[in-house]
Amino acid sequence: MELFISTPKGSVSLADPVAGLPLPQGPDGDAPLLHYGPYLQALSRFFLEDRRRRLLQVLKAFTGKTILPDEIRRAFLVSEKHGALYQVARLGVELNGCRCSFAVNVATTDDQKAFLQAELALLKNLHSQFSLPYLPRPFLRGVARYASPSGESRMLELFLTEWFEGFCEFHLSRHPLESSGLRIVVWDHDGGEPFLSAEQETTLYRRTAAILTAYFDTRSFAQIYPWHHAAGDFIVNRRSGDLEVRLITARGYRPLGDSPESDGAVVIAALHFFLNMSLRLRLDRLDGTGELAWAGSRCLTGIVDGFADAWETKRCDEPTLPSADHLLDLLGQFSGDDWMSFGQLVLEDGMVERDETEYLARHLPSHLEELSGLLRSLSK
């Protein structure tokens, strides 16, 4: 199996002295120190031992048919990302006329391992409940033995999911030819224009909002939460000529806030969900890792349309649900005081990190004004 390390300038083959370099330890720096060589070799052994049993098992789950060892033309591992929760590698396998890609999520600390188990179970449940293509399919969980350069042994827990081939992160960024406002840049190294057009941005927000709405449970009011643009949770593929969006993970699934047990509970829960989503979709970090950043108001049209699209799809299976037009009309009729009271409640219920909440609180009045103005214009 070929081993590589992803760098801003492309993938580098694993060899000395690169193999001896340490992996980033995450923002807190409390994860065990791993080195690229032993790390990738541990993952490779996991898939290749016992006559490639695990590799063949994953390929069968992905393709739906039994794959023989001599059908594998090439297999490679690339160390891709290093986050607060996991180290992420990409497993690529080339078969006769087919290429399969998997994300290998690796946990090293006890907290990471507990989170890994919970995330794997949640992905399985969401696929079973909704049968939607927007989250990666989980395939395999296991343990790889890591041997440090000093000879110390450590167990790495991992699980494999589908890798969305051709999809890339996107973030708010400053356009070199524009003096005001932020634009969306796609981290695609294909040599094309990195920034999306205004029309593409609207489509991106529409499809992102539709994905989140599609996974909203209209009975329990549970939703995928938290998620964050700055973490690269949403990814986009624009190579087919049309924007496709996916969500790479689900860290949690629960209701936000308390909904009253009444006939109008679904209305309140839906409006709460929509308003929190509209706030959070505007939040990012500049270029993914910089200061907190805020998308311009033109994204709101896409967010409203995406919510309405997915909500109306839900009504096909649940005709008793209120229409999207009805929900948005109700919001449009809110007074200024109603908007602010509801917005502050939503902001408190959706708090993830305090510095983000303070940042959102500063933007809340203008956000509510822009959103209410849009909804009023749509109801005319």
β-sheet with 138-147: strand ranges across: 10-13, 2-7, 74-82, 87-95, 98-107, 153-162, 138-147
DSSP symbol at 83: -
CA triplet 112, 231, 157: central angle to 5 degrees?
20
Please report the pLDDT score of residue 28 as a whole number. 61
Q: Could you tell me if 193 and 126 lie in one domain?
A: no
Sequential DSSP letters for 232-281: T-EEEE-TTSS-EEEE-----EE--S---SSTTHHHHHHHHHHHHHHHHT
The enclosing H or E element of 349 equals: helix 336-349
* 13 shares a domain with 121: yes
Are 43 and 73 contained in the same domain? yes
Asked if residue 11 lies in contact with residue 78, where contact means CB atoms within 8 angstroms, the answer is: yes
The C-alpha atoms of residue 171 and residue 178 are separated, in whole angstroms, by: 16
Q: Which residues contact 35 (CB under 8 A, 6 or more apart)?
A: 19, 20, 21, 22, 23, 148, 149
Asked if 305 and 325 count as a contact pair (C-beta separation under 8 A), the reply is: no
CA triple 221-223-229, angle to 5 deg? 150
Q: Identify the domain boundary among 118, 146, 162.
A: 162
pLDDT of residue 18: 85
pLDDT tens over the chain, length 380 residues? 999 998 877 889 998 788 888 898 766 666 788 999 999 999 999 999 989 999 999 999 999 999 999 999 999 999 998 877 889 999 999 998 889 999 999 999 999 999 999 999 999 999 999 999 999 999 999 999 999 887 788 999 999 999 999 999 999 999 887 777 899 999 987 767 899 999 999 999 999 999 999 999 999 999 999 999 998 999 999 987 789 999 999 999 999 987 666 768 999 999 999 999 999 999 999 999 899 999 999 999 999 999 999 999 999 999 999 999 999 999 999 999 999 999 999 999 999 888 899 999 999 999 999 999 999 998 76
Asked if 301 and 234 sit in the same domain, the reply is: yes
Same domain, 128 and 193: no
DSSP-derived secondary structure letter, 130: H
pLDDT number for residue 95 = 95
181 and 293 part of one domain: yes
Q: Which of 162, 181, 212 is the last residue of a domain?
A: 162
Task: Give the Cα separation of 176 and 162 in Å (integer).
Answer: 35
Q: Are residues 157 and 189 in the same domain?
A: no
Which range of residues forms the domain containing residue 100? 2-162
Same domain, 95 and 194: no
Of 215, 228, 251, 7, the closest CA to residue 121 belongs to 251
Q: Are residues 96 and 66 in the same domain?
A: yes
Same domain, 66 and 38: yes
Contacts of 266-269 spanning 24+ positions with Cβ under 8 A: 266/218, 266/221, 266/321, 266/322, 267/322, 267/327, 267/330, 269/218, 269/221
Q: Does residue 37 contact residue 22 with C-beta atoms inside 8 Å?
A: no
Last residue of a domain, one of 144, 162, 180: 162
Asked whether the beta carbons of 87 and 79 are under 8 A apart, the reply is yes
Degrees, nearest 5: CA angle 358-301-316:
110
Are 61 and 176 members of one domain? no
Looking at residue 124, its amino acid is K
* Same domain assignment for residues 172 and 321: yes
Domain total of the chain: 2
